Structures are given as C-alpha cells and as structure tokens.
Structure 1
Amino acid sequence: MNKGQLLTSVAAFAFLGMWAMPAAAQTPASSETDDAEIVVFGKGETRQVQTVTAVDIAVATPGTSPLKVLEKLPGVSFQSANALGSNEWSSRISIRGFNQNQLGFTLDGVPLGDMSYHNFNGLHISRAIASENIGRTTLAQGSGALSTASSSNLGGTVQFFSKAPSPDFGLDGEVSYGSENAYRLFGRLETGDLGNGIMGYVSGSWLDAPKWKGQGKQEAWSINSKLVVPLGERGQVAAFVNYSDFKDDDYMDMSLSLIRKYGWNWDYIRNDYPTAMAIATNLQNGVYCANYAGYSQQICGDDTYYDAYGLRKDFLAGANIDYELADAVTLKLTPYYHRHRGISTWFTPYTPTPGGSPMSVRGATYAINRGGATGSLSFTFGDHQLEIGGWYEYNRYRAGRPYFPLAASNVASIGKREWPKNPFASDYSYNFKIKTYQYFIQDTWNLTPELKMNYGFKGIRNTVINEYNPANSPNRDTSGLLRAKDMFIPQIGVNYAVSRAFELFASYTENMRAFTTEPFLTSRAGFLAVKDVIKPETSWTLEGGLRFHLRNFEGSIAGYHVKFDDRLLSVQPCAIIIGCPSILSNVGSVTTNGIEMAGTYRLTRALSLYGAYAYTDAQYDDDILSGVLYATKNKTVVNTPKHLINGEIAYDDGALFGRISANYQSKRYYTYINDNSVKGRALVDLSAGYRFPEGGGLLDGLELQANVTNLFDKKYISTVGQTALKFSDPGGNVQSMLVGTPRQVFLSLRKHF
C-alpha cells in the first residue's frame, strides 16, 4: 500500500469510526454550540449548510486564504500553488462540480463577485480582509439564501463575516516566519467601548513570501478598520473601510510533458534575461528548439518565459445598518463602494519591441469602480416571518491588453513588480457599464414547533453594455449590449426536528448566472454571431439530508441532484471542412449526483475527531461540435474529483493545542473527453502550539505556534485549467496546470496586550 492509499484508509477509518461512536454514546442531546467547535452544522437550516469559525483560521498558518480553510468541508475542492493559498493565479475553489466563477461570495453582505483571476465585478477575499479579522465563514454547498447578493451563484455560496470589535481596549500583535524566508506581520488595535457602546478596531498586515521555486515573491499589505455605533436600543451601524496592495509573482503554467522533461521545480527564468532574449530571437527567426548556455538540454519556445506577475490595489467600504422600526418590523441596509486597479503581465517572446528588445510585456489591465446597496424589510406576524428585499449595483469596468516596451539591453528595463508605462500597442480596450437589479420575497413559516418551511422567489436583471473605441483595433469592436433576465427564480425548503438530537431537511432551488464580459472579448463578427443567440447558464438543485445534534457528536449526511443547463464554452460550431471562428456558445447540460457526509466527535472537552466524505458524479449530457464532434456525453466534468475525504484530530486544553489533518482528492480529468488526467493526492498538515497562562507577567497573553504544510513532502499537481481546458490531450502537452507546494514550515508568535 502506498502512502496516498494509507492516508486515505486512515481518514476513511476515522470517519467511519466517528459515525459508529455516537450510537454508543448514551448522552442527552444538546442545543448548545461550543465556542471551540471545529465545524458548526446548520441547525434549523433547510439547506446543506456548514460554518467554520475564527478558531479554524487561527490554527492555520497566518495569512492562509479563508478559501483554503474551507477545503475540509464536504464537496469542496481547493487547489493552490503556494502554501497559504493566497497566490490568486493558482488558487481555485470548486464545489459539487461548479468552478469558482459559478459560485457566489459575499463579505458582510457586500458582493465580492465571482472572485476569478480577471474579476470584473468584485475582488478576492484575500484582498478584501485579513484572515485574522474574519469571524466566521458559512458555506451553502447547493445554493445560498434568496437574499444573497450574487449574479453568479449557480452552485454554492460562501459568506464571510468580519469579527465584531471588542468592548475592551487592547492590542493584538502577530509575527510569523517560515520556509523560503517568508515572514508576515499583523497588528490590531481595539478601541474598546468609547462610550454609549461605540467601539471599533483598526488593523494592518504585511506579507513577504518568496516563491518556493524560481525567482520572485508575493508582497502584500492591507489596512482594515471597523466601527460599530448603536442606534439607541433598536439597532446599530457597523461600518468598515479596507485597503489592500498586492504584488504577486506568478508560477509558470506546466504540462505533464514539461514535468517529465524538466522536473517539478521548473519555472520562469527570471534570473536569466539574456537567455530569454535569445529564445525570443530564435522564435522570430523560425527556430523553436535550441541549445542554450548553462542548460543541459534543448529548450523549446514555450518551455519557459522570462517572467509574469500581477499587481492589485483595492479600496472597499461598506456599512451594515440594522434597525428595528417597530416591534415586529426590522430594516437591514448595506450600502457599499469598491474601487480597483490591477494589471497582469507576461514577458512575451512573440511580440518584439519596435527598435528594442525581441520581447515586450503584454499586460491585461482592468479597473473597477462600482457601488450599490442591499436591503430588506422583515415582518414577523403569527407563525410567519416575511422578508422583502433587493440588491442594486452599478459598475464601470475597463479592460485592456496593451504592450509595453523593453529596451535592447542585457537586463530587463521594466523592474520587478513594477507598473509598466507608455504602451506602444494594444489589442483592445473595452469600457463596460454593468447594471444589476435583484429582488426577493420569502416567508419562513413555523407550522409546528418541529416543522419549519421557507419558500419564496427572486428575480434578477443584469445588463452589460460595452462602449468600445473603434480606433483601438476596429476588428474587435464589440460595442453592444447583453442582458440576462429572469424575474421568477423560486426556492423552497423544509426542516423537521424529529427530536432535539435529529433533524431532517430538504430543499429545491433554481438559479441563473448572468453574463460576464467574456462574450465581448472576441472579434466583431464573433460577437454579432452570439449576441442574440446565447442564453445565460441556469441550474436547479434538489437536496435533502439528516443532521445529528448529540452532546458529543455533531454531523450531517446529505444527498443531492443538480441539473446545469445552457453551459457556455468557446467552440468552433461547425465542421472543419466548412471553417468558422471560435465563439462562445451554449453547449448543453451537466447532470450531477452526490452524497456528502461530515461529523465531529468530541472524545473529551480537549480532544475531538472530525471527518468528511463527498462523492460527486458530474457528467456532461451532450457531445460537442468544435471543428469536429467530440464525444463528451457521459464524460466526467473536468477538474471534479469523484472522491473527497478529510480527516482531522484536534486537541486544545486551553494551553496546549494542535491538529493533524489529512485531505484526499481522487484523480481529476483536465480534458473534456477524459483522455488525460492528473493523479489523486493525499496531503497532511500539522499545527501545534502553546498559550502561556494568565498571570505570567511578560508572558501573559503570549502564544507560540508551529505549522507544517504537506508534511510528507508529496509531489502533486495542484491547479488545472489555468490558461485553457482542452477537448483532448493524449500526449500531456497542454500547458495549463500548476505544481503543488512541497513541505513548508512556519513559526508564529502572538501576543495580546
């Protein structure tokens, strides 16, 4: 038995053991939730819902992406090329076969968009708020509540909630240091109660994390602030202002053949500019493969490039207003504003600088200026709670692809993580106006003390208008409008408490994903061919299950069926002999069936076991014509592991604490006809620490922590489908995957004053 099989067996055994243990535990049920709970299961919810608390984030390596913390939940697949999960180019989360840009994300009710790398309507959670300031994260695997402000949540919804300020004045400091000389600093000042219940905090963080292979690093700093002001006895305002500045050197996209040729540590040649220029010169002279000084084998044109990096600056502000207008009427209002400036760069050997280097820097620039508000009124009468609300957002988004010059020298004339200037050419420059309207009506009806039903519907209208300057590549003038609209999207769910220890739940949900800017990023002819034809993607989900609430055990088991229709994909919708351009097209549907189980068993107050298992069977329902007819029908959806297993042992007696966790994903296909895949992998992480007791003088409030990620130094493929997913790749030559991080070690010191 190999290591992966052994770890999988251990995790499965631990999980099955936990399911057996509660049956033997003759203890009364409890409705209380322990503050140190690893996972909080959604008691009373009509959907599959789990919450991870700040406790889970605290034991992770400081600076870890909140998305990575979610990978322990059933149905969640997370990949990243760095240990913290914070490298945005490589970090991806998928749930029940839906990828990241088909999910919904919010922070304190503020929409974060689809959090894709080239996000046009939001920002990544790693930039929106420091992980130490997140109080809890709630995942609905099937679909979020009707009130969720998202135009992309075909599948699950992730809601992040920031911590509330402390009523006590204090200062929290944190410093961590680890592999590759990475370090991170974090500090938070709590104002305490300033009088009349007014309190707040301000925090700052700094990250300097060199890449584990190649050259470069991730540099990031942020400022978060929050202020809570009571509105008499009936409500409060909780306002926040956050700013972040990210500079992120990327890891190079790999293929299976590149890994076989160069090994796992192959990357950009940022330390060798002369060779990068020589490769570019050869390419332009028709020489694809050649020998270069200092390299033991021939390098071909796309085997490596000089460099690529991304820069992001974000300002995000919002407020949560909660006010009880009357004894049975409550108003909630969340206005927000977000401004973003970003660029992604690639030193391309295919476009020389006129009169300069044989290379240039191709940029993907984007700017977001959006504002909006969500709001609702809830009315309580009899056994009903009726809620009516909506969401409005106006977004000005700009996207371009300029080329920046490089001088004819032996060193790059554009510095590391520098904002390039003075472009000499541009492929396109788009200006978008995006308006989103959403309303919802829902009622929660307590038919009996044991039986609850909620039902309702929402409507969404999303309009994307492109204002293109034809002086910029006239053949790419895709000026026009696309609208996605469905004013009746229903949802219904029931919850039945069999006893204090067991509850049943079931729900049915429909959803629609609005158009992104992707249909416009083509030629004029390509856009005209689709603008009156393509339909927005839609889905419906049926799920149900059982939750357990025993004194020593919390858990759930759920099954689901999902139908995903009108899937959009860029294809060549005709036979090769006829010939036609690739355009975004609706290519059929996907059917997904699955089972999810998770549970936490507390052996003692200090020691607990957690396990989760998910089986996902996601298949394409149709063959696809793209030049030729590809047999995709009944093939497994790309990047969707059939089996996900998580096991964790956690100990915390108030002073000594630690966790060891194992995460297993089975193999994932990265071609639509399933003729190639990446192997499954089992990763083990370890954390351990000590909190000094109170009354220890200078040591009072001091905490030491060590984290080891990928404990057994497993070599594996992390992210797939970075640049493009292909229909077929029998030779393993598609350069669209990233290598996972080897073992990393971090030491942290925290102090509360």
Structure 2
Amino acid sequence: MRSNAFLNASALALSSVLATPALAANDASPATDAATSAAAPAAAGSARNEIVVIGTGQTRQVQSLTAEDIAIATPGTSPLAVLSKLPSVNFQSASPLGTNEWTTRISVRGFTQNQLGFTLDGVPLGDMSYSNFNGLHISRAITSDNIGMTELSQGAGALSTASSSNLGGTIAFESLDPSYDMGLTTSATFGSNDAWRVFARFETGDLGGGVRAYVSGTYSDTPKWKGKGSQELWQINSKLVAPMGDRGELKIFANYSEMADADYADLTPDILDRHGYDWDYLRYDFETAQDIATNLQNGVYTDDYEGYGTLTGDDAYYDGYGLRKDLLIGMSVDYDLTDELHVRVSPYYHNNRGIGTWWTPYVPTPGGSSLSVRGTEYFINRMGVTGSLSYDLFRGNQIEVGGWYEINDYDTARDYFGLDDAPTSSISHHEFPKNPFAYDYFYKFDINTYQYYVQDTWELTDSLKVSGGWKGIQVDIDASNDPSRTSASWATQGSLTAKDMFLPQVGVNYRPIYEVELFGSYAENMRAFTTTPFITSPDQFAAIREQGLKPETSKTFEGGLRFHLPKFEASVVGYHVKFDNRLFSVSPCSAIESCPSVLNNVGSVTTKGVEVTGQYRVTPALSLYAAYAYTDASYDDDVLNGAGELVAASGGKSVVDQPEHLINGEISYDDGTFIGRAHVNYQSKRYATYENDLSFKGRALVDLTVGYRINSDDALDGTEIQLNVTNVTDEKYVSTIGQSGGYQASYAPGDWQYFMVGAPRQWFVTLKKAF
C-alpha cells in the first residue's frame, strides 16, 4: 500500500508538471548548458582536461570527478573504479570493469564500504554492500553514461547527507540533466572474452519553457575472464527537468535494472598455490561437483578427480551467482519562497528483489542430487523523503535546517532449492529458483530512520568562511521471523535502536590571497546498526543485548591547503580519525555453510595520514595529474570473546586491507580530435589477517585509453572510436580481501576462502555516435 500510494503521487506530480501553463514562463533558456547538458560537446581547452575538481571554498576535504572522467573509461565501468584515482581511495574487484558486486569493494582512509555513505541525486543508496538491506549498488541505480558528477568527501560528508552508515567519507553521485537540444547519443562496445555492450539515450530537447527529458537503455554482457558465466545487466534510465516559473525547478527520475551476475570463486593462499590464478567454479561439470559432494557427505574431504587431480571438498564448488531487480524513483523540488527563503523537498521510492546463490556440497537434495542450491534472498520496499529550509539572515550568513525520514520493509531468507540427480544442473543461472525444500531462516524487518540537521554558514569576510552545526540520527530496527520457515537455532526476534541526537561538525575556510586557501574541520559520526546483529541464534542475540551492544562512532579532524594557479592546482591535507566501538563478527563455520555468528564491540582504531593531490595543465590539451596518500591505520585493542579469552592479538597491528601507500599518476591529452590517457595506480602491501601474519604484495596497475573524434560537416560528424586497455602490463595480483564475510584472526593453510585475484590484461573497443 505504501508503494502504490507513492507511485500514484509521483505519477500525479509528473502529469501536473507537464500540464502546468506556468512552466512556459521561462522562455529564455540557453540553447546549451555545458554544466548540465547531457548532449553538450566536451568543453574546449583546459576545461576538458580538468582531471579532478578540487573543492574550492569547502571547509572539508572534497574532490570531484566529472562526466569526462567516466567517459574516458571503458563504457560500463563501475563509477567506483573511476574514483580510485583520488587520494585514500582503495578500490578492488576481480572483474576488469568492477561490475561484479560480490568482488567489488571500496574503502576510504581505512573505512570499509559499509562504513561509508552513498547517494544519487540526494537519494540514499545505503552502504552498497553485497547484501544491502537499505539501498542498492550504484551500477544498478544508474548507468555510468548518465552520471554527470561524482563528489567524494574523504573525511566526513555534509550534514545534509542522507546516510546512516557514513562513519568515514561519503560519495555523492549526480545524474546528468537533460539537454536543451533534441538528440540521440549511442555507443557500442566489444572487447575481451567476447564482451559487448550497447547504450542509447534520446533527448527530447526543450519542450517549451525549459521542460526537457531523456530516456536511455543499456544492455551489457561481460563474460568472466576465467571460468564460465557472465555479468549481464540491462537498464532503463529516465529523467525530466521542469522549471517552476522563475523561482524553482522540479526534477524527476525513474530507473529500472535487471542484473544476472555470475561470481568468481573465492580463494585461499593454499588454493592459489595449488591451482593458480585461473582457478574458478566447476560450472558445466555437474557430475564432478556431485562426486565431490557425495564424498564430502561420506566423510571423504580430499580425493582425486579425473581432469583435476587432488581436490578438497571446498576447493571447487559448482557455481555461484546473484540476481537483482531494482526500481528506483526520485523527485526533487527546489523553490525560492522569497528572495531569502529557499525550500527543497525530495521524496523517493525503491523496490528490490535479489538473491545470492551457491551450489552447496554440504546440503544434499532429499531424493535428488548430492548438491542443493543455497540461496540468500533479499526483498526491499522502502520510501522516504529528504528536505531542507534555508534562510539568508543577512549578507553572507545562511541558516539551514533539514532532515531525512525513511520507512523500510525488508525481508531476508536463507533457503535451499532442490536439484535433480542428473548430468546437468536443473536450475538456470538466469532465474529466481522456486519452491525451497528447507529454510534456515526467514526474517522480517521494519526499519525506521529519522535524521535532522542544523547548520550555519557564514562568510565573515571575502576571505573567511566558517560553518558549524550538528545532526541527530535514530534508526529503529524491529525483527520478527516466520516460524514456519525458520529453524529453532535461528528464531531470533527483538529490536535494536541506534541513536545520537547531537553529532557536531564545524569547519573554517580562509583565503588570504586568491591563489591559496586554508581549511580545517572536525566532525563526529555514528554508524547505525544493520540487520547483522539479528542474523544469529536467540541465545547469541540475548547475549548481545545483555552486553549493551553499541553503534560504531568516529571523530575526524582534518586540515590542509589548496593552491590555485593559472596552470596548476593542488591540495595537501592531513587528518586524524578515532574510530570507537568497532563491531567484530565471528562465524564458527565457512561462508557456504550456515551457522549463527557472534557480534561484539571490540575496541577502537586510530588512523592518521596525509593526502597530496596536484594537476598541471601543460597546454590546453595536455594535463598531468598525481595523487599520493599515506595511511597509518592500526587497531588499538586485542579482540576478546565474551569470556575474556583472546580471539585475535590485533592490538597495535595494521588494519586489514589498508595499504600504507597509495599513488596515482596520469597523463591526459585531448585536443578535441585525438584522445589519449595513461594511468597508473600503485598500492603497497595489504594485510589479510587481524594479526598481520599474512600479507599480499603491492601492485601497480596501468590502464590506457586512446581515441579519435571525427569533426566534419558530413554524416560522420560526432563519431568517436575509443580503445581501452586495462592492466596493460598483465600484472598478477590479489584484489578483493574479506569478501566472504570477514577476515581471518590468523592465517593457517586450509583456512576458509576469503580473497579474490584481479583480472589480467583486457581490451575494449567502443564506437560512439551523437546525432
């Protein structure tokens, strides 16, 4: 009922906008708007080579990438992968384009993906984790071709950011606005492993009074670089912009996506040593997978198999994949009530159905195969609204109050689907399996999020600006289960609340001369509980409640300088972060098995570091860019269990998966006809265990782009051909760590699978044409 009401209201609002004569009042709209127009050509000269937009005037560390940066990458590349050039951003994926959600991870200043905040046009995307309960991944929320700007706040996001997870930084994506000119933008890509992708966006142009819209369609089929299977995605994006007289503007977007995402096999150092980088699932060899499962269930863990040699029961599962369907609708109204008073209201709606699967050898199908398909299903139905009211008290001083409210009906199930005892799998990789024969659990969550903020921004002089304010947030989670589909060992019910009504943030920006600005800020943040504390046994949940589980919190200090010269821009930033009440989950079994986990607060983390960014425009066409980040992140405490026994001697050890040194270098050329860009990303070694007794060496990845645009007076005008090559030097390296639910306390051969390897050299050719 909630969703129907919201959809009806959105449809009514859209029809009202299109029918309102007042919208025709603004007839002076420019023919093109390079800042927002999707069809506008690349700006000439230095603007085209503005590789990174440094946050001029900001009191926090803020940096942005424009649509040009995404356009130079292979079409369909994850926007998160493009962000990896910014300082302190650690991006990892097993797929060359960063599109496989199981293996894709991003961290900033040592904070993992589920401790960051993400928004699209102000709409909260949750923490973008694989099993996201309150949002969706950016690759599904919008196609990369329609992203106009990506803004990263490495330390703390704005008080207005709608996120309950942003302990660390925030990443805000902004979609392109429709063009004032009618047109069609198309592209087709073909590449390694027979990957292909097509994209088309139709622009209506100005329909009268500045009303304009676009609709786009995308389909991509990106086969895995090893093993069998593919990442397949099709999307429809649409957006409408309509002026509201000369005082405001209405924007509406509606995006739909369907994804079938074949995963890569998780590895251990032992598996990697024995089988190499190309080891993957046994997909299409169902008989061997059944033999492994039969032996495992008969107590034979290790055996020899024809064509493979010696395998353990966990060396090679048959397959694993994810399916997702998402509908995301957002609307915003920005309006000047008076010359001093401005209001913004942005409702949104999101519906998702998803599943992640493994063909498990641990649970046989009754009366059928020795395998079954273990599913983890997700059902999200959420809606909410963000808004603000700002008032210019006097020249240079603005007071703003705002908030965010979301209601979320979220269900998740762990179930098992039967397989026939046959030579091939009887469940397709492109459909949601039906009729489970068993459940571990079926949880139902009612989640309510409340957030408000107050801030004052005051430009005391032309060179001095101060800002200050606070936010408050409360997230209530009520959990119940379906007793007919939940075993006794998982029958947890109850509620948890994370609440802090005063999280302050202050900042200052001082610009003594035009070329130099100094800035500094302090911010406190809290990460609300997720559904993880409930996915356990009733006894464990009772213990969690008795121990007084606390939400994670952070305190961030940062300060630095920005330099703005005619051909050179740079920033130097130092920071210190204290991360308290770190939550640590221990599972007594492997990820493919199902057993209740234990969650506890285990102390704090101290992180300090330096970030340096610089870009130099040698000529209007040629630019150089470099970024360096030094990060010293360590655990302050050992991990103890509820009995006070040592679980991990982590005190003083480096944070897992956090390289101490991150370096990016890039040379870019674009004269309007010829395009060239070479980029190198270096990361020093990363630890894979809490006790730092296993590490993976550093690596340097080189990516290359070359292209040619046709500028002519004939039909070929607007045609562009582009070649992208990733991992040019064919580096062999470990990419994602901890994707299967966490990290090891200490390394021992045969530990559960918990890392991935990166993709080898790949190439992609794209033909683009604008009409």
- TM bucket, shorter chain: over 0.9
Q: Deviations over 1:90-140 (max 9, x none)?
A: 000000000000000000000000000000000000000000100000000
Partner amino acid for 1:710? N
Which of the residues 524, 538, 544 maps onto 1:510?
524
Contact 1:258 1:733 in 2 (8 A): no
Contact 1:41 1:50 in 2 (8 A): yes
Q: Deviations over 1:401-459 (max 9, x none)?
A: 01000011111111222211110000000000000000000000111110000000000
Q: Distance in 2 between matches of 1:741 and 1:634?
A: 33
Q: What is the CA-CA distance between 1:478 and the residue it aligns to?
A: 1.4
Which residue in the other structure is 1:673 paired with?
691
Q: What is the CA-CA distance between 1:583 and the residue it aligns to?
A: 2.0
Q: Tell me the SS of whatever aligns to 2:185.
A: strand
Which residue in the other structure is 2:701 paired with?
683
Which residue in the other structure is 1:143 paired with?
156
Which residue in the other structure is 2:352 paired with?
340
Which residue in the other structure is 1:737 paired with?
755
Contact 1:52 1:138 in 2 (8 A): yes
Does 1:537 pair with 2:552?
Answer: yes
Which residue in the other structure is 1:18 paired with?
none
Which residue in the other structure is 1:183 paired with?
196
Which of the residues 222, 229, 232 maps onto 1:209?
222
Q: What is the CA-CA distance between 1:734 and the residue it aligns to?
A: 4.0
Which of the residues 112, 131, 135 maps onto 2:125?
112
Q: Distance in 1 between matches of 2:477 and 2:48?
A: 44
Which of the residues 455, 471, 475 maps onto 1:462?
475
Does 1:368 pair with 2:380?
Answer: yes
Which residue in the other structure is 2:24 paired with?
none
Which of the residues 618, 632, 646 maps onto 1:628?
646
Q: Tell me the SS of whatever aligns to 2:315.
A: coil
Partner amino acid for 2:708? Y
Which residue in the other structure is 1:414 paired with?
427
Q: What is the CA-CA distance between 1:648 and the residue it aligns to?
A: 0.2
Q: What is the CA-CA distance between 1:625 and the residue it aligns to?
A: 1.4
Does 1:259 pair with 2:272?
Answer: yes
Which residue in the other structure is 2:729 paired with?
712
Contact 2:48 2:670 in 1 (8 A): no
Q: What is the CA-CA distance between 1:45 and the residue it aligns to?
A: 0.1
Which of the residues 644, 650, 658 maps onto 2:662?
644
Contact 2:46 2:617 in 1 (8 A): no
Q: Deviations over 1:571-617 (max 9, x none)?
A: 499xxxxxx98521100000000000011100000001000000000
Q: Distance in 2 between matches of 1:61 and 1:33?
A: 22
Q: Distance in 1 between matches of 2:49 and 2:244?
A: 31
Q: How does 1:225-624 map to 2 (within 5 A)?
A: 225-295=238-308, 297-382=309-394, 383-471=396-484, 472-532=486-546, 533-571=548-586, 583-624=598-639
Contact 1:89 1:117 in 2 (8 A): yes
Q: What is the CA-CA distance between 1:76 and the residue it aligns to?
A: 0.2
Contact 1:229 1:236 in 2 (8 A): yes
Contact 2:656 2:686 in 1 (8 A): yes
Q: Distance in 1 between matches of 2:684 and 2:190?
A: 32
Partner amino acid for 1:300? T
Contact 2:214 2:238 in 1 (8 A): yes
Partner amino acid for 1:517? T
Contact 1:174 1:750 in 2 (8 A): yes
- TM-score under structure 2 length normalisation: 0.91
Contact 1:338 1:370 in 2 (8 A): yes
Q: Deviations over 1:144-171 (max 9, x none)?
A: 0000000000000000000011000000
- How many percent identity over aligned positions? 60
- Structure 1: where are the runs of 5+ without partners? 1-31, 574-579
Contact 2:481 2:493 in 1 (8 A): yes
Q: What is the CA-CA distance between 1:511 and the residue it aligns to?
A: 0.2
Q: What is the CA-CA distance between 1:259 and the residue it aligns to?
A: 1.0
Runs of 4+ in structure 1 off by over 4 angstroms are none
Q: Distance in 2 between matches of 1:660 and 1:413?
A: 46
Which residue in the other structure is 2:719 paired with?
702
- Structure 2: where are the runs of 5+ without partners? 1-44, 589-594
Partner amino acid for 2:355? I
Which residue in the other structure is 1:47 paired with?
60
Q: Distance in 1 between matches of 2:218 and 2:586?
A: 44
Q: What is the CA-CA distance between 1:719 and the residue it aligns to?
A: 0.2
Contact 1:599 1:610 in 2 (8 A): yes
Does 1:93 pair with 2:113?
Answer: no
Q: Deviations over 1:35-78 (max 9, x none)?
A: 54110000000000000000000000000000000000000000
Q: Distance in 2 between matches of 1:273 and 1:476?
A: 31
Contact 2:49 2:621 in 1 (8 A): no
Contact 2:220 2:234 in 1 (8 A): yes
Deviates more, 1:87-96 or 1:725-734: 725-734
Partner amino acid for 1:717? V
Partner amino acid for 1:722? Q
Partner amino acid for 1:453? V
Query: Given the superposition, is the C-alpha separation of residues 105 and 744 from structure 1 closer, same or farther in structure 2, using an over 3 Å criterion?
Result: same
Q: Distance in 2 between matches of 1:564 and 1:303?
A: 37
Partner amino acid for 1:346? W
Partner amino acid for 1:715? K
Partner amino acid for 1:71? S
Q: Tell me the SS of whatever aligns to 1:158.
A: strand
Q: Pairwise CA RMSD of aligned residues?
A: 1.4
Which residue in the other structure is 1:6 paired with?
none
Partner amino acid for 2:517? E
Contact 1:249 1:417 in 2 (8 A): no
Which residue in the other structure is 2:92 paired with?
79
Contact 1:571 1:625 in 2 (8 A): no
Partner amino acid for 2:137? H
Partner amino acid for 2:162? A
Q: What is the CA-CA distance between 1:393 and the residue it aligns to?
A: 0.2
Contact 1:676 1:732 in 2 (8 A): no
Q: How does 1:49-64 map to 2 (within 5 A)?
A: 49-64=62-77
Q: Deviations over 1:548-579 (max 9, x none)?
A: 11110111000000000000012499xxxxxx
Q: Distance in 1 between matches of 2:725 and 2:47?
A: 27
Q: Tell me the SS of whatever aligns to 1:519.
A: helix
Q: Distance in 2 between matches of 1:335 and 1:458?
A: 20
- TM-score under structure 1 length normalisation: 0.94
Q: Distance in 1 between matches of 2:596 and 2:178?
A: 55
Which of the residues 124, 138, 143 maps onto 1:130?
143
Q: Distance in 2 between matches of 1:615 and 1:340?
A: 39
Q: Deviations over 1:458-512 (max 9, x none)?
A: 0001000002123321332211110000000000000000211000000000000
Q: Distance in 2 between matches of 1:571 and 1:67?
A: 29
Contact 1:676 1:730 in 2 (8 A): no
Partner amino acid for 2:320? A
Contact 2:256 2:328 in 1 (8 A): yes
Contact 2:503 2:524 in 1 (8 A): yes
